[in-house]
Amino acid sequence: MNIPTQYLPLMPYLILNEASAFLQFMKTVFNATEQLLVPADNNKIRHGELRIGEAVIMFADATEQWQEKPAGMYVYVAQVPETYAKALAQGATSLMEPHTQEYGFTAGFKDAFGNDWWIVEPEKE
């Protein structure tokens, strides 16, 4: 199997209302970087790709043919409280305030596009 170097064997693909706003949310909250952005008509996004570290998230604006399909995501972040606060400041709603679980320091929020995000700090070595 010859997977292109900029991709991984498995990547989420989100179909969203307001993909441009999602792009800005991801940049602000997760410091995501654009890998590829293919515009469509009427200032919509036909296909977008964002990177968070090595991970790639693909996304596009919903159309009549391709209906909205948000998802749930589990992401390791350097600072749970900071990421959680940025998300809420960008219009996300809390699903779970930051606290310690048996698997680490964690929190959850729902973004304005219908996606649930579960963020966790990796354990310190």
CATH number of the domain within which 71 lies? 3.10.180.10
Number of domains the chain is built from: 1
pLDDT band for position 90 (cuts 50, 70, 90): very high
Domain assignment present for residue 8? The answer is no
Mean pLDDT confidence for 105-124 = 94
Residue that the structure tokens 């209906």 belong to? 67
The predicted structure's pLDDT at residue 84: 98
Q: Please, which residues have CB within 8 angstroms of residue 113's CB and are 6 or more apart in sequence?
A: 14, 16, 17, 18, 21, 22, 25, 70
Domain with 68 in it: 13-120
The predicted structure's pLDDT at residue 67: 96
Mean pLDDT confidence for 74-81 = 95
Domain assignment present for residue 105? The answer is yes
Q: Are 49 and 57 in contact (CB under 8 A)?
A: yes
Q: Which residue has the higher pLDDT, 98 or 3?
A: 98
Domain assignment present for residue 1? The answer is no
